[in-house]
Amino acid sequence: MRVLHTSDWHLGRVLHKEPRAQDHDEVLEEIITIARTDKPHLIVHSGDLFDHATPSHPDQKKALLVLQELEAVAPVVVLRGNHDSASLFRVFATAAGPRSRIHYIDSPRDPKNGGVLRFPGPDDTVLRLAVLPFVHANRHLDMLGDPDRWRSAYADRIGAMERALADELLRDFDPRRDIAMFTAHLHLNGANLSSERKAHIADYYATDIAQIPAVSYAAFGHIHKPQPLPGKVTGHYAGSPIQLDFGELGETKSVVLVDVEPGRPAEITLRELSGGRRLRCFHGTLDELRTEAAAIGRDLCQVTIRTPAPDSTLSEQVRAIIPDATVLQVIPDCPGQTLPIVTPDDGVAGIEPDMPELFDRYLASDGTKDVLAEPVSRMFADIWSCLEDERPFLVPEEDTLTQPIDADLRRPTEENL
Ligand SMILES: [Mn+2]
């Protein structure tokens, strides 16, 4: 039997205000073509169909149309990921009706009552698929108390679910005709995260690889970097089909084709995906950007430009050099736009830094937009001292503006007469 495994589409994702709809359209078309060409007997989506619990109607429509295209090839199982809404999955299941070949798994199921699905294949083979969608810790556990105990309680709870599913999966198992598979939307200890900033949260949801059922293939979702599972069980994180955020820079995306016969190890083939724009971080001078412009093409870019002096036209220049690219952000890298780092312990211990000093620390870390930091720092200190002494603050630039206006008003014109 052949299984196509995909995951983590995150329909509706927006990156720095840039919707990813066109990227999804391209890559989903590619996945449909792979399904039609490779003709799997079952298609598994291991969760995070959507990016958030209330996807737009166009995104819901897109999901339904693509799933229907896949259903025309083979039965489809869709797990709820942590980004998906269980109630929306129930609406989809109701709309699909009892004869649909799309199985929406909105919540963990009793192993004896829908937790293990059976799909007949060629030559009397039967594929048994145990399903475990994302389990929110707060739904099932007391989250108060020691975080370490909280984590291990979560992992224990998932482990118990997995053992119960394994028992049902292997009940009356006939190795001459039965094939066992498992699909879950979970973070496994030892997997490589795409984005380091997620690591802290993910730690609390980490579950134990040793607890997952011994199956021919385990189809995992949740982690966006495509990779084989850690440990001994044959399985993969299919990963997201497009680079969803800058934590996924440089990753080649794919879907997984699994060929498996009863009593034999599964053969795994990755089908690389090329649809959708790739992400790119550029850091260099405007000249270096010109040199790289052709290679950047239509990538989604975060651009950092080294300039000797502040330049308020930086954004326009960048966009003119790479007109086909989508520029998400232009960050100036100009030494004059930040203050040198203030050492935090150069004050007297126990004395709070005053406001100008706090502002200088801000300028040291965040810098200014388009102007030199030094005069901004001086002006802030001046304003602050005027406030403290209850003196009016005179902005020098105010004169340069008011003088010509006054002169203009005094000049006799037709309207004034
Ligand atoms: Mn995801």
pLDDT tens track for 4-22: 999 999 999 999 999 999 9
pLDDT > 90 fraction of the chain, expressed in percent and rounded: 64
Tell how far the Cα of 130 is from the centroid of ligand 1, in angstroms: 20
Tell how far the Cα of 148 is from the centroid of ligand 1, in angstroms: 24
Q: Does the structure show a pLDDT above 70 at 279? A: yes
Quick one: pLDDT band at residue 207, thresholds 50, 70, 90? Answer: confident
Tell how far the Cα of 106 is from the centroid of ligand 1, in angstroms: 15
Q: 91-129 as b/e, with b when 16 or more CB fall inside 10 Å?
A: ebbeebeeebbbbbbbebbebeeebbbebebeeebbbbb
**Residue count (the chain):** 417
Tell how far the Cα of 8 is from the centroid of ligand 1, in angstroms: 5
Tell how far the Cα of 135 is from the centroid of ligand 1, in angstroms: 14
Res 208: pLDDT: 80
Tell how far the Cα of 85 is from the centroid of ligand 1, in angstroms: 13
Q: What is the mean pLDDT of the chain?
A: 88
The CB-based long-range contact list for 137-141 (8 Å cut-off, 24+ gap) reads 137/204, 137/205
| Residue 4, phi then psi, degrees to nearest 5 | -105, 125
Q: Within 13 Å and on the Cβ side, how many CA atoms surround 408?
A: 5
Q: Does the structure show a pLDDT above 90 at 403? A: no
Reported as a single tens digit per residue, the pLDDT across 326-378 is: 999 999 998 888 887 766 555 556 677 788 888 988 998 888 887 888 888 98
Residue type, 311: D
Tell how far the Cα of 266 is from the centroid of ligand 1, in angstroms: 25
Residue type, 192: N
Tell how far the Cα of 136 is from the centroid of ligand 1, in angstroms: 14
Least confident of 51-60, 293-302, 338-347, 360-369: 338-347
Tell how far the Cα of 51 is from the centroid of ligand 1, in angstroms: 8
Residues of the chain with CATH 3.60.21.10: 2-272
Strand spans (E) along 234-389 = 235-237, 254-259, 267-272, 279-284, 300-306, 326-333
Total-model pTM: 0.82
Task: Give the whole-angstrom CA distance, residue 330 versus residue 335.
Answer: 16
**Overall average pLDDT of the 70-76 stretch:** 98
333 within 8 A of 307, measured Cβ to Cβ: yes
Res 201: pLDDT: 54
Q: Does the structure show a pLDDT above 70 at 231? A: yes
Quick one: pLDDT band at residue 401, thresholds 50, 70, 90? Answer: low
Quick one: pLDDT band at residue 416, thresholds 50, 70, 90? Answer: very low
Res 398: pLDDT: 66
Reported as a single tens digit per residue, the pLDDT across 27-40 is: 999 999 999 999 99
Res 156: pLDDT: 85
Tell how far the Cα of 92 is from the centroid of ligand 1, in angstroms: 20
| Residue 243, phi then psi, degrees to nearest 5 | -70, 110
Res 196: pLDDT: 42
Tell how far the Cα of 83 is from the centroid of ligand 1, in angstroms: 7
Virtual torsion, Cα 180, 181, 182, 183, nearest 10 deg: -160
The conformation of residue 269, written as its DSSP 8-state character, comes to E
Tell how far the Cα of 82 is from the centroid of ligand 1, in angstroms: 7
Tell how far the Cα of 91 is from the centroid of ligand 1, in angstroms: 21
Tell how far the Cα of 204 is from the centroid of ligand 1, in angstroms: 16
Tell how far the Cα of 257 is from the centroid of ligand 1, in angstroms: 20
What CATH class is the domain 2-272? alpha beta
Q: What helix, strand, coil percent values describe the chain, rounded to 5?
A: 40, 20, 40
**Overall average pLDDT of the 154-182 stretch:** 92
Res 368: pLDDT: 85
Q: Which of 120, 112, 115, 127 is nearest to 216 (CA)?
A: 127
Res 414: pLDDT: 54
Tell how far the Cα of 375 is from the centroid of ligand 1, in angstroms: 46
| Residue 280, phi then psi, degrees to nearest 5 | -150, 140
Res 369: pLDDT: 81
Q: Does the structure show a pLDDT above 70 at 148? A: no
Res 140: pLDDT: 47
Tell how far the Cα of 150 is from the centroid of ligand 1, in angstroms: 22
Tell how far the Cα of 50 is from the centroid of ligand 1, in angstroms: 9
Reported as a single tens digit per residue, the pLDDT across 88-146 is: 999 999 999 999 999 999 999 999 999 999 999 998 999 999 999 998 876 545 555 56
**Overall average pLDDT of the 385-396 stretch:** 79
Q: Does the structure show a pLDDT above 50 at 273? A: yes
Tell how far the Cα of 211 is from the centroid of ligand 1, in angstroms: 22
